[in-house]
Amino acid sequence: QVQLVESGGGSVQPGGSLRLSCAFSGNAYSTYSMGWFRQAPGKEREFVSVIDSSGTTKYADSVKGRFTISKDNAKNTLFLQMNSLKPEDTAMYYCAAEPYRWWYSRMPVEGDFGYWGQGTQVAVSS
């Protein structure tokens, strides 16, 4: 059984940085594509970024150039480095995992992932 636990959220001023982590417990971590989604109050959960087992990445246009996804296979941990944060980045951020999956012609959506963490809150305000 896969379990995902996010950490690293918090409050930051515009222009600041945060680094989110997602600890993966279960088998065969290296075979999973790992993603980050976010959900702001009153809005649908939206895709942020994804990384596959080989390190290939995708980003939503809204975060491209500011956020960086990475993972440490030795520690079964996923990261999201968030720089130049904006108020519109305020949301609950969720880690997600799906084995043996990549999205060649489209961005991932919520329904593509079978495993989810409980979320970590990010608030960006002055």
pLDDT tens per residue, range 58-85:
999 999 999 999 999 899 999 999 999 9
3-state secondary structure of 25: strand
- Which spans in 5-109 are helix H? none
Residue count (the chain): 126
> Max alpha carbon distance in the chain (Å)?
42
Distance CA 26, CA 29 (A): 7
pLDDT per residue as tens digits for the range 4-20: 999 999 999 999 999 99
Per residue in 35-55, pLDDT (tens digit) is 999 999 999 999 999 999 889
pLDDT tens readout for residues 87-99: 999 999 999 999 9
Pick from 30, 26, 6, 10: nearest CA to 18: 10
Q: Which two tokens stand for residue 93?
A: 């951020």
pLDDT value of position 104: 82
- CA 54 from chain centre, in angstroms, equals 17
